[in-house]
Structure 1
Amino acid sequence: MTAVLSAPFLTPIAELGPAHPSIAPLAQVVGADECVPLRAGDSARYANLDYAASAPALTAVAQTVQASLAQYASVHRGAGHLSQVTTRRYEEARETVRAFVRGRVDDAVVFTRGTTDAINLAAHVTCGDVVVLDIEHHANLLPWCAPDRTGSSRVRVVPACATIEDTLAALDAELASAPAALLAVTAASNVTGEVLPIGRLASIAHRHGARILVDAAQLVAHRRVSMVSHGIDYLVFSGHKLYAPFGAGVLIGRADWLDAAPPYLAGGGASASVDFGITGADAAVEWHRGPARHEAGSPNVLGAISIAAACTALADIGFDSIGLHEEALRARLDDGLAAIDGVTALRIFDDSTDRVGIAGFDVAGHAPRAVAEYLSSDAGVGVRDGKFCAHPLLKRLGHPDGAVRASFGLGTGSDDIDRLTDALTRLTTRARTS
């Protein structure tokens, strides 16, 4: 039988001082006690610091999905009792999501396969120029590079400046220079965790006659969002970053563009009426309006239910508690990384003051993949390495070959942070003494 290691990787709490008390996880997640093999031949509890890629399922979410399986059936077109139950749960999920992000009563809530799918849907329904920053995840860059459905080229990329204030001014100037239909921006960087002032960005867009789409994939699990208060026209996020990894995402926003565009996919569910002539060449199709127009086929009912369950769970925990938990972990992580020679934190803006639970960093003299492999094999710590689907941003930050990213959430405790920083200390110390 292999031994399970934990204590050797931890700095004793007494040595950390009163500024760094022990921090317990805030919520139960599936797999919290999972053990992984180490190079030494023993094993350790897995320290999951890769939440920004895919967060583990909240236990409450998994239990909701499991309970729904017994009554799972077809949606929208079945007269049977279980079909009616499933349809009601699916539609109730929309309202739960709308309430969670404080959407407008007439906003469409369309379930998708994830953030990438949601932004591609938004690109499908948007006509006109789209302004983006060069710091975006590829999901909020590449869909806008293709011509819109009128054949017009549309993407206008604005380089981010050294400060948020200068970046806002650059976006203001770009939108003033020529009409644009949409400003598409991230709410929080998936590389550094830095949070952008969405309300101010929305005001800039609206002042110049544009709408705003917010990629909130890295924000909604960490911060309270209000589409109404922040002036957000379209909001997108993924369940798998919201503790609901069941293959669904969502686009919430103004219905007029969605209703005016052809269906995202042609098929059953999107069509209200279909009439073929003898050859089919004179087919007459009437498409639904509303979310159904862009949800052809059998929807991911369990994915939608899981997102709604995550929204409910996060609201029950409360974002004040979530913020305090993550602030304590972030301070511990930042202090730990800053104390290690050769470790440099990544930052986009000189004046940013708010971050979600993400820390991108470089370890001098070590390739990102080598660092990630060492953390896994020697300490049982899971982090991300590479370019994080943000190649232009990594290049502008001076790391074209990638970096390392640690990210955390509700299931993270101080032991996980200490395991990471202790292992990095051993790695850099070994390099200096060898």
Structure 2
Amino acid sequence: MIATDLRTSPTRVRAVAGERADAAATGPASLAALADAGLRVPVLGGGTVRHVNLDVAASAPALDAVVQHVARVIPYYSSVHRGSGYASQASTALVEDARVTVARHVGARDDDLVIFTRNTTDALNLLASAVPGDTVVLDLEHHANLLPWRSRRVVVGRTTIAETIDALRDELGAAPVALLSVTGASNVTGEVLPIAELAALAHEHGARLAVDAAQLLPHRRVDLAAAGIDYLAFSGHKAYAPFGTGALVGRADWLDVAPAHLAGGGAVEAVRLEAVEWKTGADRHEAGTPNVIGIAALARALDELDRLGDGPRREHEAALTARLHEGLADIPGIRVIRGFDDADDRLGIATIELERGSVGLIAAALAAEHGISVRAGRFCAHPFFDRVASRANGLRASLGAGSSADDVDRFLSALAGLVADGPAHAYERTPAGWCPRVDDRPLPVIG
């Protein structure tokens, strides 16, 4: 287990929580305007509080700019590519302009393909069908980058990134490899891997590099050409465009000869009863009617992230991440999970485990009593979690461009109280997880 044991006295916890409350006004405010800003949610016992969303690593709320863009373009929604009507031509332009936007945002090479998919999992499954040989992955991968590969060789991570890279080098040199596929940043610890170094390592051994950028891209600018990345997969729903679209960006040759991801209209040049002539390029893998609105939303989100700027986003998140981890260091009875002793770069993610008690119960109480959303579990990274944690499940808090110092401080204060004193209400464990025994919160009225 690699973990940091964090202990202090309950008195100090409460004192520090008070100090943070006093300092919140001077801490980082939200950097981006999100659709859930100002959302109020009911809590047990009556009343409402401002919702604190610290589950953005799972799915981020939409940017206001994205919602407004969707409202503007949806009247023009129509079928694409072969329609003669004005709306059809407008929708076609939205899709093809979005392809250019995605390519520009991720630093794609001129001959790279941009293929729209449902999400990162879909994109990596598509890539897996195209790999002409073995794929090497790390055990720290999200299941989306662990399960799809048909010929998979897994390297178990070491206690440091440096030692892990040495282990990858040994594996890549042991037998021919077509692809090294790694996460850009762990969705459990937030630790960022040295992508350019891994690309050079893969290329040195005649392999290509694929990056699962589901976590990394919403927080950092990714440049395929500059870093030497061959394939990049990511999701709109983690990049503030939760409208059901992701993308696979990368080299065309493997994809042009791979089986069509979906067999259907739009992916073919000609169909005869005895034979099919498949297209090459992005069309080969985008059969059927595309998610025009989702694609437009994704492009608008990436434009907005560009407008916010990589530097300001990194500075904003770094300040909040430091505040989060410093606060966790003042709470007794928890451990912050780490993957590597030498990781000096991480996103705004912290996963903790309790010395005693249930993280599921704490997560339920944070939501029901404090209006704070986090996530409990193993985060679709079971092999990695089982290796670095000492308990069955963890509790993850994750930040984004819409997070603020007040969000962090409310979480730390509520967590400290729950760990020290337990929930104020009674809960029971059900097949759906921990739930209040008596839940008097009204259901939302939507629509």
**How far did residue 16 of structure 1 move?**
4.5
Deviation at 1:119, TM superposition (A): 0.3
Q: Which residue of 2 aligns with 1:169?
A: 166
Cα gap change, 1:375/1:273 in structure 2, threshold over 3 Å: closer, same or farther?
Answer: same
Alpha-carbon distance in 2 for matches of 1:14, 1:268: 58
Deviations 1:29-64 (A, max 9, x none): 002111111123222111000000000000001111
> Is the contact made by 2:353 and 2:391 (CA closer than 8 Å) also made in structure 1?
no
- 1:317-359 per-residue CA deviation (whole Å, 9 max, x = no partner) reads 1010001110110011011111000121110000000011111
Equivalent residue, structure 2, for 1:195: 192
Structure 2 residue aligned with 1:252: 249
* TM-score, normalised by the number of residues in structure 2: 0.89
Compared with structure 1, are the counterparts of its residues 13 and 349 closer, same or farther at alpha carbon in structure 2 (3 Å cutoff)?
Answer: closer
Match of 1:150 in 2: none
Structure 2 counterpart of 1:122, one-letter code: L
| Pairing 1:312–2:303 present | yes
- The Cα offsets for residues 139-187 of structure 1, whole Å up to 9 and x where unpaired, read as 001101x3xxxxxxx2000000000000000001100110000001000
Pairwise mapping of residues 262-411 of structure 1 onto structure 2 (< 5 A)? 262-276=259-273, 283-399=274-390, 401-411=392-402
Which structure ranks higher in relative contact order (CA pairs < 8 Å, sequence separation ≥ 6)? 2
Q: CA deviation at 1:307?
A: 0.8
Q: What CA distance in whole angstroms lies between the structure 1 residues aligned with 2:141 and 2:376?
A: 17
- Which residue pairs with 1:93 in the alignment? 98
Question: Which position in structure 2 is the counterpart of 1:29?
Answer: 34
Following the alignment from structure 1 to structure 2, what is the Cα–Cα distance between the partners of residues 52 and 377?
Answer: 20
CA contact (8 A) 1:11 1:418 kept: no
Count of aligned pairs between the two proteins: 408
Q: CA deviation at 1:136?
A: 0.3
Aligned-pair CA distance for 1:364: 2.1
Counterpart CA distance in 1 for 2:376 and 2:21 is: 32
Instruction: Kindly provide the amino acid, as one letter, of the partner of residue 259 in structure 1.
Output: D
Deviation per CA, 1:248-288: give whole Å up to 9, x if none: 10000000000011211110010111122xxxxxx221111
- Match in the other structure for 1:416: 407
Counterpart of 1:212 in structure 2 is 209
Matched with 2:88 is 83
Question: Deviation at 1:371?
Answer: 1.2
Give the equivalent residue in structure 2 for 1:234.
231
With 27-36 and 211-220 compared, the bigger mean Cα shift is at: 27-36
Secondary structure, counterpart of 2:76 in structure 1: coil
Cα deviations across residues 217-240 of structure 1 (Å, max 9, x unaligned)?
001111111101100000000000
Larger deviation, residues 91-100 vs 361-370: 361-370
RMSD in angstroms over aligned alpha carbons?
A: 1.6
Q: Tell me whether 1:49 sits opposite 2:54 in the alignment.
A: yes
Give the % identical residues: 51
Structure 2 unaligned regions, length at least 5:
1-15, 424-447
2: CA distance, partners of 1:377 / 1:202: 45
> Residue 110 of structure 2 aligns to a residue in which SS?
coil
1:104-136 Cα offsets, whole Å, 9 max, x none, are 010000000000000000001112100000000
Per the TM alignment, residue 400 of structure 1 is displaced from its structure 2 partner at its CA by: 5.3
Q: CA deviation at 1:21?
A: 3.0
1: CA distance, partners of 2:157 / 2:378: 18
Contact 2:124-2:145 within 8 A present in 1 as well:
yes
Alpha-carbon distance, 1:12 to partner: 5.2
| 2:141 corresponds to 1:136 | yes
Correspondence for 2:122 among 106, 113, 117 = 117
In structure 1, what is the Cα distance between the partners aligned to 2:421 and 2:358? 15
C-alpha separation between the residues in 1 aligned to 2:291 and 2:391? 37
Q: CA deviation at 1:13?
A: 5.1
Distance 1:182 1:14, change over 3 A: closer
| Residue 108 (structure 2) pairs with residue 103 (structure 1) | yes
Q: Secondary structure at the match of 1:185?
A: strand
Compute the displacement of 1:431 (Å). Answer: 5.1
CA distance in 1, matches of 2:367, 2:164: 37
Tell me how far 1:363 sits from its aligned partner. 2.3
Q: Find out whether 1:38 has 2:43 as its counterpart.
A: yes
- Distance, in Å, in 1 between the alignment partners of 2:164 and 2:234 is 24
- SS of residue in 2 equivalent to 1:162: coil
SS of structure 1 residue aligned to 2:148 = helix
After TM superposition, give the deviation of residue 138 of structure 1 in Å: 0.4
| Compared CA separation, residues 205 and 416, structure 1 to 2 (3 A) | same
Matched-pair contact (CA < 8 Å) for 1:193–1:359: yes
CA distance in 2, matches of 1:301, 1:387: 33
Q: Which residue identity is paired with 1:190? A: N
- Secondary structure of the residue that 2:129 maps to in structure 1? helix
Q: Deviations over 1:362-398 (max 9, x none)?
A: 1221212111011111211000100100010111013
TM-score, with normalisation over the residues of structure 1?
0.92
Question: Partner letter of residue 193 of structure 1?
Answer: G
